């Protein structure tokens, strides 16, 4: 008689974040003894409620780890020219090592203009074309925080990607595409899927690692996963009861997968953690 396979091991993003944030705090202290405090500027334009929560969490995480942070809040009516002038000032502010403009910005502001205005040396979100190009060519630069956090989760389970088949569902510039490039850099064979992919299940069943970054519930169900596969769930959605959930049918997939990340408590906390890491590294790079 077939025994049911044991449930997957959970990769705990909260616990891993605590460990990484305590490493960040130690390195921040080392810089402080040299008179340098890593500083992050977080810029928020408008009143988007989700954005308000995100920026508060980012500023608090900085404070907890000993980094300096400033939160600049502007009315939704701020002009693009005024925002670009503010970014220029932050680019030239020696107390600021990282700049983050919380997206989305109001519709009258072109997000690309904003992202490209940030100095690549302070682009701790890793969204600038220079950062994207650096990732693509394997040059030093800042990696986008969410896929970077996913890579740290794989590292935490000592997962060797060499020769493995990794599959990413989603091809956004901030998650899917950089995720695929990071997996490729670690020698996985990478498949990228998106809304026009036909027969997603036939592809996911071949994958050793699956990253779901779509923004739709139950994009990945147990029948789509190879036994023992590693499943990382980036998605953030609400279920019928209004509770936070991911793209993956967690209860079903955990019966098949070898490892799985929960939502909440998985990739989400890692994203902020990697923002701290990037800001610290921005300060370390100019103070070797
Ligand atoms: P996005 O820009 O909307 O991209 C979604 C991607 O999913 C697109 O490439 C889209 O394909 C693809 N897609 C849509 N429906 C699909 C389907 N049925 N099958 C396969 N692919 C499909 O979203 P994003 O910014 O990458 O974010 C993705 C999710 O991650 C969201 O839930 C977001 O809230 C979450 N997120 C979480 C964190 C975190 O810290 N945990 C950080 C960032 C994002 P096309 O390109 O063809 O349209």
Give per-residue pLDDT as tens, 247-277.
999 999 999 999 999 999 999 999 999 999 9
What integer is the mean pLDDT of 174-185?
98
Q: Where are the domain boundaries for CATH 3.40.50.720 in the chain?
A: 144-268
Q: Mean pLDDT of all residues in the chain?
A: 96
CATH number of 35-122: 3.40.50.10860
Predicted local distance difference test score (pLDDT) of residue 90: 98
3-state helix, strand, coil in the chain (%, to 5): 40, 15, 40
For residue 130, count CB atoms less than 10 angstroms from its CB and return exposed for 0-12, middle for 13-18, buried for 19 or more. middle
Give nearest CA residue, ligand 1 atom 14.
Answer: 195
Which position among 102, 164, 177, 247 bears the catalytic label? 102
Question: What residues are in contact with ligand 1 under a 6 Å CB criterion?
Answer: 146, 169-172, 174-176, 193-197, 200, 213-216, 219, 234-237, 267-268, 271
Q: Where are the domain boundaries for CATH 3.40.50.10860 in the chain?
A: 35-122
pLDDT score of 1 more than 80: no
**Confidence grade of residue 6 (pLDDT, cut at 50, 70, 90):** confident
CA-angle at 63, arms to 62 and 67, nearest 5°? 60
The alpha carbon of residue 25 and the mean position of all alpha carbons in its chain are separated, in whole angstroms, by: 20
Give nearest CA residue, ligand 1 atom 35.
Answer: 235
| 3-state class (DSSP) for residue 252 | helix
Report the percent of the chain where pLDDT is more than 70: 98
User: Is 58 assigned a catalytic role?
Assistant: yes
Residue of 234, 263, 270 with the most ligand 1 atoms within 8 Å of its CB, for mutation: 234
Give the number of the atom of ligand 1 that is nearest the alpha carbon of residue 266. Answer: 41
pLDDT score of 244 more than 60: yes
Six token digits for residue 110:
């072109």
User: Is 102 assigned a catalytic role?
Assistant: yes
Instruction: Return the residue matching tokens 């690309």.
Output: 112
Which position among 123, 125, 208, 233 bears the catalytic label? 125
CATH topology of domain 144-268: Rossmann fold (3.40.50)
Distance 196 CA to ligand 1 centre (A): 13
Predicted local distance difference test score (pLDDT) of residue 184: 98
Predicted local distance difference test score (pLDDT) of residue 262: 98
Whether the pTM exceeds 0.95: the reply is: yes
Residue of 58, 195, 196 with the most ligand 1 atoms within 8 Å of its CB, for mutation: 195
Give the number of the atom of ligand 1 that is nearest the alpha carbon of residue 175. Answer: 26
Predicted local distance difference test score (pLDDT) of residue 169: 98
**Cβ contact 175:213 at 8 Å:** yes
pLDDT score of 2 more than 70: no
**Cβ contact 96:121 at 8 Å:** no
Closest CA to 214 of 245, 262, 246, 257: 246
């Amino acid at each position: 008689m077939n025994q049911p396979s044991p449930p997957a091991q959970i990769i705990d993003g909260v616990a891993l974040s605590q460990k990484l944030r305590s490493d960040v705090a130690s390195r921040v202290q080392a810089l402080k003894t040299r008179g340098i405090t890593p500083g992050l500027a977080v810029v928020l334009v408008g009143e988007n409620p989700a954005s308000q929560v995100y920026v508060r969490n980012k500023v608090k995480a900085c404070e907890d780890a000993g980094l300096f942070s400033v939160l600049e809040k502007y009315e939704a009516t701020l002009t693009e020219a005024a925002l670009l002038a503010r970014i220029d000032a932050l680019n030239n502010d020696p107390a600021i090592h990282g700049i983050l403009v919380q997206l989305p910005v109001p519709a009258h502001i072109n997000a690309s203009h904003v992202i490209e205005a940030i100095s690549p040396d302070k682009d701790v979100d890793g969204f600038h074309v220079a950062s994207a190009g650096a990732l693509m060519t394997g040059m030093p630069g800042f990696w986008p925080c969410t896929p970077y956090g996913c890579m740290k989760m794989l590292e935490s389970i000592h997962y060797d990607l060499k020769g493995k088949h990794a599959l990413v569902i989603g091809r956004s510039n901030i998650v899917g595409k950089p995720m695929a490039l990071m997996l490729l850099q670690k020698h996985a064979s990478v498949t990228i899927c998106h809304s026009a992919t036909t027969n997603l299940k036939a592809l996911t069943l071949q994958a050793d690692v699956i990253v779901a970054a779509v923004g739709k519930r139950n994009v990945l169900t147990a029948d789509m996963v190879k036994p023992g596969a590693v499943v990382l769930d980036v998605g953030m959605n609400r279920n019928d009861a209004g509770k936070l959930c991911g793209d993956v049918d967690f209860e079903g997939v955990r019966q098949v997968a070898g490892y799985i990340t929960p939502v909440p408590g998985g990739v989400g906390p890692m994203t902020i953690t990697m923002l701290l890491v990037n800001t610290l590294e921005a300060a370390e790079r100019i103070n070797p």
